[in-house]
């Protein structure tokens, strides 16, 4: 099995106007100059996917959507099909982000259907899992994460078409992060689960997400089985995102 290439993905969430594309091209400029070891992606809001893909064409930075519908087309006002993201130039799509699970009531079954849709369209699904603070305090973290992994990954998932992102809900956008021991424990459990279910379970990349910043990235990225990061707030500015890219790229 080839070594897993690190992957650092920025999730812009509901942030960004056309002028923000300058941050994406600034990131691509840094990547061109310094050729990081990590694969890079940015997931802007849907309104910017096509323009960002055009602006980043031929660079080392790929583009992704933040969500997709399970169906390829139809009467689903306001939704976006995985095929549409692919058509707009995307490589990735995030599925099952905790903000989708919480704000839109998405179950793991829904997330699995969306991940399967991503595969159908030829996109890499970045499938998010993670426990709430109440679940962690109740000692249920591994049980919750394992159930989400089992429920959210379709049988057709492979190391090539699927990335797992472990994002403790209580760490997202809060400035709080788990200890490295806590991250290691969950990533090891996810790896065990992937190995038990998929022939190429050793090759899946498992990202950590939740308040990754320039000053904590090196420590988090050095944890065993952390193959990169899913980054929210700190991905909006190339100047903040770049040190996180380097934290994995330099190892």
Contact set with ligand PEP (CB under 6 A): 11, 13, 167, 172-173, 209-212, 230-234
Q: What is the smallest separation between the CB atom of 136 and ligand PEP, expressed in angstroms?
A: 16
- Report the catalytic residues: 97, 167
Q: What is the smallest separation between the CB atom of 41 and ligand PEP, expressed in angstroms?
A: 12
Find the residue with minimal CB distance to ligand PEP: 232
Distances (CA, A) of 172 to 32, 157, 162, 167: 30, 26, 21, 7
Nearer to ligand PEP among residue 120 and residue 132 (C-beta): 132
Q: How many Cβ atoms are within 10 Å of 222's Cβ, its own excluded?
A: 12
Nearer to ligand PEP among residue 12 and residue 201 (C-beta): 12
Q: How is residue 19 written in tokens?
A: 């002028």
Nearer to ligand PEP among residue 87 and residue 215 (C-beta): 215
164: phi then psi, degrees, rounded to nearest 5? -105, 135
Q: In terms of C-beta density within 10 A (0-12 exposed, 13-18 middle, 19 or more buried), how is residue 243 classed? A: middle
Q: What is the smallest separation between the CB atom of 230 and ligand PEP, expressed in angstroms?
A: 5
Q: What is the smallest separation between the CB atom of 72 and ligand PEP, expressed in angstroms?
A: 26
Nearer to ligand PEP among residue 123 and residue 165 (C-beta): 165
**Strand blocks (E) in the chain:** 7-11, 39-43, 61-65, 92-95, 124-129, 162-166, 205-209, 228-231
Q: How is residue 7 written in tokens?
A: 């992957």
């Amino acid at each position: 099995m080839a070594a897993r290439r690190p992957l650092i993905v920025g999730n812009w969430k509901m942030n960004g106007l056309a002028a923000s594309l300058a941050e994406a091209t600034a990131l691509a400029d840094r990547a061109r100059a310094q050729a990081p070891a990590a694969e890079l992606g940015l997931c802007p809001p849907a309104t910017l996917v096509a323009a960002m893909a055009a602006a980043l064409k031929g660079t080392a930075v790929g583009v992704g959507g933040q969500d997709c519908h399970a169906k390829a087309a139809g009467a689903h006002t306001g939704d976006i099909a995985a095929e549409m993201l692919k058509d707009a130039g995307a490589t990735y799509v995030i599925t099952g982000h905790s903000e989708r699970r919480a704000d839109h009531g998405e179950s793991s079954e829904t997330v699995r259907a969306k991940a399967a849709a991503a595969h159908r369209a030829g996109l890499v699904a970045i499938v998010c899992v993670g426990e709430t603070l109440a679940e962690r305090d109740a000692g249920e973290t591994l049980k919750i994460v394992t159930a989400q992994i089992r429920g959210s990954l379709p049988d057709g998932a492979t190391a090539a078409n699927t990335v797992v992102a472990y994002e403790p809900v209580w760490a997202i956008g809060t400035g709080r992060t788990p200890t490295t021991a806590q991250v290691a424990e969950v990533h090891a459990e996810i790896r065990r689960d992937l190995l038990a279910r998929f022939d190429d379970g050793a090759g899946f990349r498992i990202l950590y997400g939740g308040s990754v910043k320039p000053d904590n990235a090196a420590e988090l990225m050095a944890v065993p089985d952390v193959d990169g990061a899913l980054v929210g707030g700190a991905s909006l500015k190339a100047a903040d995102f770049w040190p996180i890219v380097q934290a994995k790229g330099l190892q």
